[in-house]
Amino acid sequence: MDALASSPLGWLCMGVTALLGVTMLHVAKRNPVEKANVLVWSLLPALLGLLSAAVLGAGGGLVVFCAVSLFSSVYLGGSVLLPVGDKAVLITGSDTGIGHALAKYLDNLGFVVFAGVLYEDGPGAEELRRTCSQRLSLLQLDITNATQVKEAYLKVSEKVQNTGLWGVVNNAGILDFPADGELLPMSTYRRCMEVNFFGAVEVSKTFLPLLRKSQGRLVNMSSMAGGIPLPRYAAYGASKAALSMFSGVMRQELSRWGIKVAAIHPSGFQTGIQGTSELWDKQEKELMENLPADTRQDYGEDYILGLKNYLMRIPTYCNADLSPVLSAILHALLAERPQGLYTPGKGAYMLLCIFCYFPLWFYDFFISKMLRTSEAESKNL
């Protein structure tokens, strides 16, 4: 240890250790919730560096110290959250599901929430009025209506004024009727693209000037079906894949202004996106009326009519606990270095890895096996 203290490398090692310690203490002070986590990952490089210096000498200790410091810096940058303060966030599709739960969650954390709803007098909006604080503002916002998007922008900009808007969460989306791509009418493809993609793009483009002021966050709610091909989700998956690609491009282009962009690819969660039985009947009728006679014969009447049963079973395969999705969105909004892609939920990351790193024939076999298993289980219920 005497040799360490007397060598220039030793002094450099201790100086950098002290600098890192002061920096991390400052970070811990700003983030009291993460204080223990920050301090552990701050002390680790110093302790390992000093131990290595005693065993390997000053040069070896400095190398170990730098390597562990780099790892700690990357880890802390992803785990430490910025303070909520008076940050304002716009959420689309807050009537039900993830958007509704997120509005409550962020309001409870102290955010200024602008909750866009399709029905301003609907039960979802009424519940938000009843249960949330005065910080939350409800906005009539059909994201496919350019006039309503512009009116929402004027209302939000009037409230946030010079501080800008910290975050936009493009959550609003529709599933429509899951069926084989050949069976789906073109109106289904157009509806999915209009809401899930064009609506999100319209909102993003409109509110980006406010995000630029705050160097804020753009968070797009895509889907596991937007990253991997899944049978019966041709229309929905294509629209979500377009949204994911849009997110990636915007992440690159908006970085010059300090705006960070993230896409969320959750697996199955119970959000109510599949709609109501009345809607299913309407969509099934539309599907049947648009089918050519030879296509109907090739697929078979029983198979086509059984698609509604598949739609009705979707919630049984989904997780009712939305907390993994809410935590991912919060991290995307507040992390110093947020991820570009989040995959909350069971199986989301695993299926993405199989699709990306395994031969396509294996992925197709794996998915077809899963589909056959789920159909067999449903017949036994």
Name the residues annotated as catalytic: 236
Q: State which H helix or E strand residue 89 sits in.
A: strand 88-91
Q: Which residues contact 353 (CB under 8 A, 6 or more apart)?
A: none
3-state secondary structure of 263: strand
Phi, psi for residue 336 in degrees, rounded to 5: -60, -40
Strands (E), 190-306: 217-221, 260-264
Beta bridge partners of 90: 114, 168
Rounded to whole angstroms, the Cα distance separating 152 from 161 reads 14
- Nearest C-alpha neighbor of 345 from the set 289, 267, 274: 267
- Whether 290 and 282 have beta carbons less than 8 Å apart is answered as no
Rounded to whole angstroms, the Cα distance separating 14 from 49 reads 9
Give 132's DSSP letter. Answer: S
Q: Which two tokens stand for residue 73?
A: 């810096």
Q: How many residues does the chain have?
A: 381
